[in-house]
């Protein structure tokens, strides 16, 4: 692929801007500055430096973020920060999107990608990819509440929703899996059984666990992790 096209595909700006970047001597490949905008490179394991910073060519990007509290999943966040504030302009130029949404006060595993097919695969209502949440409740969780969550609760205007793999870890602490993603689903399910979510954290999507990341940190996913995120959990 032409160097100017490579840079454009990686989010460095318009074709014209990338040509200027190359001509200005900002790009080096294999320790040599390349000023030829029409130079061609094989993309397999291709790395390049822009102003001395190294980048790896990625056809698509798959990102896991440990979402902090106080961040909205929208580009035009109104009352809080936007999760997109946590990413470099190159990634924003590539048009990364959140794979589903977490509330501003929910923490944990949030995937972002510029691969429309991957986004569809994980968010399509019929795919049923499981999402696991850890939650702290305002009131002690009763066996009856767990039974109701397993059996299914009605959420107004949306239908009946069940939780699976429910594990109570202390009087006010629970982990559960859901297979859909309607608005405020976990909070509304807990409210429907007479409790209240105080803290919510997503720990797993499909079979992919939140990687070791501090809040606000992110990492690229490798192929194995991408497949794990897509895999369904046995209910
Ligand atoms: N359910 C909720 O209520 N909130 C989230 O952020 C995710 C699932």
Q: Determine how many CB atoms are found less than 10 A away from the CB of residue 72.
A: 21
Quote the ligand 1 centre to 174 CA distance (angstroms). Answer: 14
102 Cβ inside 6 Å of ligand 1? yes
The two beta strands, 107-113 and 197-205, are parallel
Q: pTM for this structure?
A: 0.94
DSSP alpha helix (H) spans, the chain: 3-9, 15-23, 89-93, 116-123, 143-151, 185-192, 223-230
CA distance 2 to 42: 9
Are 129 and 229 a contacting pair, CB within 8 Å? Answer: yes
* Span 100-154, pLDDT tens digits: 999 999 999 999 999 999 999 898 877 779 999 999 999 999 999 999 999 999 9
Mean pLDDT score of the chain, rounded to an integer? 95
CA distance 37 to 63: 29
Q: Which residues are catalytically annotated?
A: 103
Quote the ligand 1 centre to 144 CA distance (angstroms). Answer: 22
* Span 56-105, pLDDT tens digits: 999 999 999 999 999 999 999 989 999 999 999 999 999 999 999 999 99
As assigned by CATH, the class of the 3-56 domain is alpha beta
Indicate the CATH number of 62-125+207-230 among 3.40.50.2300, 3.40.630.30, 3.30.70.580, 3.30.420.40: 3.30.70.580
For the CA of 181, the nearest atom of ligand 1: 8
Give the DSSP letter of residue 2. Answer: B
Report domain extents, the chain.
Answer: 3-56, 62-125+207-230, 131-205
CA distance 233 to 235: 6
């Amino acid at each position: 692929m032409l160097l100017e096209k490579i840079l454009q595909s990686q989010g460095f700006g318009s074709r014209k801007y990338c040509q200027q970047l190359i001509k200005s001597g900002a790009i080096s490949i294999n320790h040599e500055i390349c000023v030829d905008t029409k130079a061609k490179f094989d993309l397999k394991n291709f790395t390049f430096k822009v102003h001395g910073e190294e980048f790896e060519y990625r056809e698509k990007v798959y990102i896991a973020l440990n979402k902090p509290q106080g961040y909205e999943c929208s580009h035009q966040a109104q009352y809080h920060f936007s999760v997109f504030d946590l990413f470099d302009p190159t990634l924003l130029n590539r048009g990364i999107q959140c794979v589903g949404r977490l509330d501003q006060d929910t923490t944990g595993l949030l995937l972002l990608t510029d691969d429309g097919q991957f986004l569809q695969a994980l968010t399509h209502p019929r795919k049923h990819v499981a999402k696991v949440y850890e939650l702290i409740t305002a009131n002690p969780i009763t066996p009856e509440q767990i039974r109701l969550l397993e059996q299914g609760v009605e959420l107004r205007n949306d239908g009946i929703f069940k939780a699976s793999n429910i594990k109570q870890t202390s009087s006010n602490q629970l982990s559960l899996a859901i297979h859909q993603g309607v608005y405020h689903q976990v909070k509304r399910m807990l409210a429907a059984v007479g409790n209240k979510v105080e803290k919510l954290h997503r720990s797993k999507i499909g079979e992919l666990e939140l990687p070791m990341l501090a809040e606000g940190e992110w990492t690229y996913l490798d192929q194995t992790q991408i497949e794990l995120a897509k895999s369904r959990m046995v209910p």
